[in-house]
Amino acid sequence: MPESDQATPFLVRPIVTRRGPDPKQDRAARTKLLVLTAAAELFAARGFRQTSVKDVADRVAMTKGAVYFHYPTKEALAVAVVEQHYARWPALLAEVTAAGHGPLETSARLLAGAAAAFRDDIVVRAGARLQIERPQIDAELPTPYVDWTRLLAALLGRAEAAGELRAGVCPQAAARSLVAALFGTQQISDILHERSEIAERWAETSELLFRAIRA
Ligand code: LUB
């Protein structure tokens, strides 16, 4: 996949726990990730307002001060969790791209992988909930939906160039439709079944949508 398509979306970098020779830095990075994961578990289960920094500190057997050392406010914790939600996707993209399928099949497998992550990855789950609760969070959260839309529009643009798209299908419109469909599917599945059956629900929606756009 040409570099130009990959580089732009999801610019957030994952938290790196091995930062080289200094064990103190490694420990700090590991503690930072531990705190972030504990916050994600609580934000996913209770939401932003119902979670206190004390709750996070208790969950990792640390003092509030130790948590504040890594994240100065509860809002900063929420921003970090949402950023790590998006930092999950480049690795998934690289994994799916490495399989070497065409752009349309790559798009389908990428979205299926994302659907599973909404079920299995606590940071992805917490990030999705915090994005719903944006109005309650007094902080600059990453803009939702736009990176997925940009990435899928690029992939479907290449599918069009490769003759994989049905004549008349607009890559940008199809990208927006796929993002709206996965967003809706994961949201409904969360509320009704805590996303336990999201893979099945997304498979049926994906089959319908890709049948509509495939040449
Ligand atoms: C995705 C959510 C939940 C869009 O990209 C996003 O911001 C998303 C969180 O806001 O679904 C569907 C790929």
Tell me the CA–centroid distance for residue 61 and ligand 1, in Å.
32
Segment 88-115, tens digit of pLDDT: 999 999 999 999 999 999 999 999 999 9
For residue 147, the ligand 1 atom closest to its alpha carbon is 5
Average pLDDT of the residues in 56-76 = 97
Q: Are 167 and 180 in contact (CB under 8 A)?
A: no
pLDDT band at 23 (very low <50, low <70, confident <90, very high): confident
C-beta 175 within 6 A of ligand 1: no
Q: What is the mean pLDDT of the chain?
A: 93
pLDDT at 120: 98
18 — pLDDT class (breaks 50, 70, 90): low
Does pTM surpass 0.85? yes
Q: Please tell me the chain's helix, strand, coil percentages from 3-state DSSP, rounded to the nearest 5.
A: 70, 0, 25
Atom 6 of ligand 1 has which residue's CA nearest to it? 145
Mutation to probe ligand 1, out of 84, 89, 133, 183 (largest number of atoms < 8 A from CB)? 183
Closest CA to 123 of 194, 36, 207: 36
Residue 67: C-alpha distances to residues 24, 53, 78, 105, 156 (Å): 17, 7, 13, 43, 43
